[in-house]
Amino acid sequence: METSPKILEEKLHRIWLNQEFAKSLITKNNEKIVVLNPGNYNNDSAGPDFKHARIQIGNLTFVGDVEIDYDYSNWKTHGHNINKRYNKVILHVTYLNKQKHHYIYTSEGRKVPTIALIDFVEDGLIDNLLEQKHYKKNLNKIILKCASEIDTIDLEERRKFILKLGFNRFQKKSSRIFRRLKELKFLKELQLKEPVIRYELTKAFAEKEFTHQDFNDTSLWEQVLYELVFEALGYSKNKNMMLKLAQNLDLEFLKKIENDSELKLKLEALYFGVAGLLPETEGLTKDQISEHVYELNEQWNKLKLLYDNKLFDETQWHFLGQRPQNFPTVRIIGGMKIANDILHNNLTGKIIKKFLEINDTKVLINSVRSLFIIKSGGYWKTHYIFEKLAKTEIKYFIGVSRADEIFINILLPFLSVYFDMFGNEASSKKVLKVYNDYEQRMDNKIVRDVAENLQLFGLNKKTIYMQGMIEVYRKLCSRNKCLECEIGKQVFQ
């Protein structure tokens, strides 16, 4: 019986992921192809099959996506040629290309090389793969190249290496926060209206020496915290858009909105209006839309006259493939409430005060984390998207697991920078101790798989080790940089 293209495509994914080629890859134009990183398998039903690949074609190295189809013609029959999601494709991989076409074209008109795997794999490999079961499950499981030899590396050596990477990851986050603080300070000194940096910072910025006195301005710290929280609420799919939203709709602008009984409605109108997610009501009567949407549009029509920054579009946000709880609509509402607390309830000051005054680690963690757990209410308690009732009520806009991640990935490095900046060595050490001792509630597939591969059982819940495992996988393992890894060097040299 003939193999269906759908089943075969999933086998081709396996071949690409494991780079099971009998000979070197070349384009139809005889340019050599070197796969530096095959990319991350895309579990989502939308978009290219592999994301963030690094491929050298000829003398150039490209970073982007890889799409795998059964036949060359599928690029058009599946609509990839008119789908913006496929504009970052750098290589098109097929099983068949009977007409021996050299290229496909993206919706932007960019020419992308195409290769047919039938020219590069051993005879019978596809048939052998068809006999394997549970291939989809195995495809998603991380298997490190060093896993089969991991017993040759001392357990304590492995643990210390991951511990070091966990600390390095913390430092990188702190450095990013410090750089953003400096950018905001520099821009404020230039009295620029635009909060988003759309250009290379000048030589003056690179040469400027900052002192702790430059950062006595509370608004700088509040804006950085605001941006980081919004970015975190976007998860992987919407984090860039959430960050852009917070940078464009910045706290300085929000301070101009009168704090009256309609403030929350005004803020909601602003966020969804700027995000491009507010439903169009032009031509509709009041009876055809809900009262809430009508009121939001009334507010937005007034407020947009004050707003002179960038507006976004609904197509820039990802809903497909997301759990409804993670829809950008729900996360924006959660972020809006955090922004309101920063502006009007001194949230930043409260966090710092708790770290200064609470000495019991568990009490401190629970007390600070609770500030970021946002229970649902109002219109969005029963909606994931506008004008469509949810099947079940929404309990939280920001739940415990997300608050947990905000605490670890944002608040701790944020506070580390803050206390270091103002010379509070005791509190800075306290932050690092919490980071070192903290055990997270959340689960993480990368951490689970890496812990199993490295046989670091029992450490996959401790924050500093979790962060180290994420770091080793993302920066080294997934990029095939085994010889830059302290474990890989010993296994493969």
Please give the torsion angle defined by the CA atoms of residues 441, 443, 446 and 448, in that order, rounded to the nearest 10 degrees: 90
For 363-417, how does the pLDDT look when each residue is reduced to its tens digit (9 = 90+)?
999 999 999 999 999 999 999 999 999 999 999 999 998 999 999 999 999 999 9
Q: Is the pLDDT of residue 267 over 80?
A: yes
pLDDT band at 136 (very low <50, low <70, confident <90, very high): very low
Spatial separation of the C-alpha atoms in residues 386 and 129, rounded to whole Å: 45
For 440-463, how does the pLDDT look when each residue is reduced to its tens digit (9 = 90+)?
777 788 999 999 999 998 888 899
Q: Is the pLDDT of residue 128 over 70?
A: no
Is residue 297 included in any domain, yes or no? Answer: yes
pLDDT at 192: 53
Is residue 187 included in any domain, yes or no? Answer: yes
| Residues 293, 385 share a domain | yes
As a whole number, mean pLDDT of residues 128-136 equals: 46
- Residue found under tokens 């996506």: 65
pLDDT at 206: 66
| Residues 184, 129 share a domain | no
Q: Is the pLDDT of residue 1 over 50?
A: no
**Which has more pLDDT, 377 or 149?**
377
Please, are residues 75 and 95 in contact by the beta-carbon 8 Å criterion? Answer: no
Kind plus residue range of the DSSP H or E element containing 294:
helix 291-303
pLDDT at 123: 63
Among 74, 109, 140, identify where a domain stops: 140
| Residues 272, 170 share a domain | yes
Is residue 377 included in any domain, yes or no? Answer: yes
Rg from Cα positions in the chain: 25
As a whole number, mean pLDDT of residues 59-85 equals: 89
Question: Measured over all CA atoms, what is the biggest interatomic distance in the chain, rounded to whole angstroms?
Answer: 75
Q: Is the pLDDT of residue 130 over 80?
A: no
Taking all residues of the chain, what is their mean pLDDT, rounded to a whole number? 88
| Residues 207, 342 share a domain | yes
**Which has more pLDDT, 171 or 133?**
171
The distance from CA 180 to its chain's CA centroid, rounded to whole angstroms, is 18
**Which has more pLDDT, 19 or 204?**
19
Among 140, 173, 191, identify where a domain stops: 140
| Residues 294, 172 share a domain | yes
> In a 10 Å sphere around its CB, with 0-12 CB exposed, 13-18 middle and 19+ buried, how is residue 71 labelled?
middle
DSSP codes, 149-203 = GGGGS-HHHHHHHHHHHHHHHHHHHHHHHHHHHHHHHHHHHTT-S--S--SPPPH
pLDDT at 134: 40
Q: Which two tokens stand for residue 377?
A: 């209410």
pLDDT band at 45 (very low <50, low <70, confident <90, very high): low
| Residues 264, 115 share a domain | no
pLDDT at 81: 86
| Residues 376, 414 share a domain | yes
**Which has more pLDDT, 461 or 349?**
349
**b/e map 253-267, b = 16+ CB within 10 Å:** bbeebeeeeeeebbb
- In the chain, the amino acid numbered 487 is I
Is residue 478 included in any domain, yes or no? Answer: no
As a whole number, mean pLDDT of residues 98-107 equals: 92
pLDDT at 84: 85
Report the predicted TM-score, pTM, of the whole model to 2 decimal places: 0.71
3-state secondary structure of 443: coil
pLDDT at 331: 96
Handedness of CA 262, 268, 272, 274 (dihedral sign): positive
Is residue 493 included in any domain, yes or no? Answer: no
Q: How many helices, marked H, and strands, marked E, lie in the chain?
A: 20, 12
| Residues 373, 259 share a domain | yes
Residue 101 domain boundaries: 5-140
Q: Is the pLDDT of residue 133 over 50?
A: no
Is residue 352 included in any domain, yes or no? Answer: yes
pLDDT at 463: 92
pLDDT at 204: 65
Spatial separation of the C-alpha atoms in residues 123 and 129, rounded to whole Å: 12
- In the chain, the amino acid numbered 274 is V
Q: Which two tokens stand for residue 111?
A: 């020419």
Among 110, 140, 170, identify where a domain stops: 140
Count: domains in the chain: 2
Angle at CA 387, nearest 5°, toward 384 and 390? 40
Of 101-110, 128-137, 257-266, 286-295, the range with the lowest mean pLDDT is 128-137
Is residue 487 included in any domain, yes or no? Answer: no
Q: Is the pLDDT of residue 10 over 80?
A: no
**Which has more pLDDT, 372 or 323?**
372
Q: Is the pLDDT of residue 465 over 70?
A: yes
Q: Is the pLDDT of residue 316 over 50?
A: yes
| Residues 275, 221 share a domain | yes
**b/e map 34-54, b = 16+ CB within 10 Å:** ebeebbebbebeebbbbbbbb
Q: Which of 159, 154, 153 is nearest to 488 (CA)?
A: 153
Is residue 473 included in any domain, yes or no? Answer: no
Pairing of strands 32-37, 50-57: antiparallel
For 105-125, how does the pLDDT look when each residue is reduced to its tens digit (9 = 90+)?
998 999 999 999 888 887 666
As a whole number, mean pLDDT of residues 352-372 equals: 95
| Residues 191, 43 share a domain | no
Q: Is the pLDDT of residue 210 over 80?
A: no
Q: Is the pLDDT of residue 344 over 60?
A: yes
For 217-261, how does the pLDDT look when each residue is reduced to its tens digit (9 = 90+)?
999 999 999 999 999 999 888 999 999 999 999 999 999 999 999
| Residues 174, 132 share a domain | no
197: left (phi over 0), alpha (psi -120 to 50) or beta: beta
| Residues 231, 190 share a domain | yes
3-state secondary structure of 230: helix
